[in-house]
Amino acid sequence: MSVAVYPGSFDPVTLGHYDIIERTAQIMDRVIIGVLNNQAKHPLFSVEERIEMLESVTAALPNVEIQYFDGLTIDFARKNHAKVIVRGLRAVTDFEYELQLAQTNRVIAPEVDTMFLTTSLRYSYLSSSIVKEIASLGGEISDFLHPHIAEYVMKKYAEIKMESKEDDDE
Ligand code: ADP
């Protein structure tokens, strides 16, 4: 059985991520999305929230599951008996870092390979951080996310706004 892990922050999952997930699910028997629990990145959403969002958008893909992990991606791959790590490549700016990461991982774990899927052109500009920036400034994000994920993000910023207003009022 071919098993792949697709690691990332998914803070939040975008249509660009989903495109990679859907295409990987057609190639591999089993796809395990690994949500990185990395507080150093100061994620907007908790791991639980990110998993919940991923579960909702992948509900119709029977060979896709979600787990969280911390530590090395290779260890996560090994634990799940995955021979493949999937990464998405958007532009040359991704390339250098991804190449370095893949080559380092292959030295540490020669039995695991990294598979790159090039992004669909219509999502090549898309990142979670740009979506968060637009949403934080009150912009429209429905072209970039599944509708209920967009709602989730807008709700989060509304909560943050309320909290900072309450702090100001104190
Ligand atoms: P990370 O913190 O590991 O970069 P991300 O959630 O930003 O986590 O991305 C996870 C993976 O998804 C990475 O391989 C990234 O290149 C890929 N990715 C992110 N956005 C897109 C997109 N719009 N199209 C294709 N791949 C993407």
**Pocket flag, ligand 1, residue 87 (CB < 6 Å):** yes
Is the minimum distance from the CB of 38 to ligand 1 under 6 angstroms?
Answer: no
Q: What are the structure tokens assigned to 167, written together?
A: 């702090």
Mean pLDDT over each residue of the chain, to the nearest integer: 94
pLDDT for 21 equals: 98
Residue 170 lies in a domain: no
Q: How many Å lie between the centroid of ligand 1 and the Cα of residue 49?
A: 18
Residue 27 lies in a domain: yes
> 């637009």: which residue's tokens?
134
Q: Distance between CA atoms of 106 and 52, rounded to whole angstroms?
A: 31
pTM of the full structure? 0.93
**Strand ranges across the sheet with 30-36:** 64-69, 30-36, 3-8, 84-89, 113-118
Q: Strands (DSSP E) along the chain, which ranges?
A: 3-8, 30-36, 64-69, 84-89, 113-118
Is 41 domain-assigned? yes
19, two tokens: 């495109």
pLDDT in tens, 82-98: 999 999 999 888 899 99
Predicted confidence at residue 93, as pLDDT, reads 81
Q: Whose CA is nearest to atom 20 of ligand 1?
A: 127
Residue 151 has a pLDDT of 95
Q: State the residue range of the domain holding 19.
A: 3-165
- Write the CATH number for 59: 3.40.50.620
The predicted-structure confidence for 41-97, as pLDDT tens digits, reads as follows 889 999 999 999 999 999 999 999 999 999 999 999 999 999 999 999 998 888 999
**CA 133–ligand 1 middle distance (angstroms):** 16
Confidence band of 40 (pLDDT split at 50, 70, 90)? confident
Q: Which two tokens stand for residue 94?
A: 């991704």
**Paired tokens of 48:** 């639980």
- Residues 14-32 have a mean pLDDT of 97
- Using DSSP bridges, classify how beta strands 3-8 and 64-69 pair: parallel, antiparallel or unpaired: unpaired
